[in-house]
Amino acid sequence: GENVEQHPSTLSVQEGDSAVIKCTYSDSASNYFPWYKQELGKRPQLIIDIRSNVGEKKDQRIAVTLNKTAKHFSLHITETQPEDSAVYFCAARTGNTGKLIFGQGTTLQVKP
């Protein structure tokens, strides 16, 4: 069935380092891949997304890459700051009804 796997489940980096989170998806018809950031007790917020017709997208310190052949996509955060600490979720839009299926989440801790 439709599934999204996300790794790692936790990630700790020093301030200023880069962080990479990886996801794989099962539905080959998926065509839209967003990333959400959720701070403790808050709502998930969209931070960046990519459609299947491009391989990479950048927005300041964050970037997302997509490999459709391998069915995986990654989030890259450069020059991490303490305020980047949160749970990050990847998601894939299914090809049939268009719902978003989410990964299990990655808890990112940026140590000052």
Partner 1 sequence: NAGVMQNPRHLVRRRGQEARLRCSPMKGHSHVYWYRQLPEEGLKFMVYLQKENIIDESGMPKERFSAEFPKEGPSILRIQQVVRGDSAAYFCASSPPGREGEKLFFGSGTQLSVL
Would you tell me which residues interact with partner 1 (CB under 8 A)?
6, 32, 34, 36, 42-46, 49, 51, 89, 93, 96-105
Can you tell me the distance from the alpha carbon of 71 to that of 101, in angstroms, rounded to the nearest whole number? 14
Nearer to partner 1, 78 or 102 (CB): 102
Q: What's the closest the beta carbon of residue 16 comes to partner 1, in angstroms?
A: 27
Q: What's the closest the beta carbon of residue 27 comes to partner 1, in angstroms?
A: 13
Nearer to partner 1, 88 or 110 (CB): 88
Nearer to partner 1, 42 or 79 (CB): 42
Q: Which residue has the tokens 């719902």?
A: 99
Residue 72 is encoded by which pair of tokens?
Answer: 């995986």
Residue 13 is encoded by which pair of tokens?
Answer: 């980096």
Nearer to partner 1, 5 or 79 (CB): 5
Contact 45, 52 (CB under 8 A): no
C-alpha pair distances (Å), 44 with each of 17, 41, 107:
24, 10, 13
Q: What's the closest the beta carbon of residue 106 comes to partner 1, in angstroms?
A: 10
